[in-house]
């Protein structure tokens, strides 16, 4: 993962540096152990969505798709660490 990608995220989401850092932590944890299931991709008739395990609730998970995220932070900010992690992951894989 390059610093350039994270710099692009900071440019794309100005004012969300803390969320970007938390999103980076999510993505780096996933890439360190993909089998842990931190991020899971789902392909369905409505397109691709991603499920991200909640860090604060071991039984919780949030869904991220093109419209946003199901986490409680999304309605307030329209950006959250889950959405940012998935945005960078999609850029990495070219999706």
**CA angle (33, 42, 84) in 5-degree steps:** 65
Q: Please report, for residues 8, 21, 90, the alpha-carbon distance to residue 3 in angstroms, rounded to integers and kept in the order given.
A: 9, 12, 16
pLDDT, one tens digit per residue, over 3-22 is: 777 777 778 777 778 888 88
pLDDT, one tens digit per residue, over 63-90 is: 999 899 999 999 998 889 999 889 888 8
């Amino acid at each position: 993962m390059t610093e350039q990608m994270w710099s692009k995220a900071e440019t794309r989401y100005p004012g969300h540096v803390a969320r970007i850092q938390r999103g980076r932590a999510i993505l780096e944890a996933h890439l360190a152990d993909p089998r842990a299931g931190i991020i899971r991709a789902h392909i369905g008739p409505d397109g691709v969505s991603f499920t991200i395990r909640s860090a604060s609730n071991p039984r919780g998970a949030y869904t991220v798709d093109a419209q946003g995220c199901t986490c409680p932070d999304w309605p307030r900010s329209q950006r959250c660490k889950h959405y940012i992690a998935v945005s960078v992951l999609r850029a990495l894989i070219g999706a």
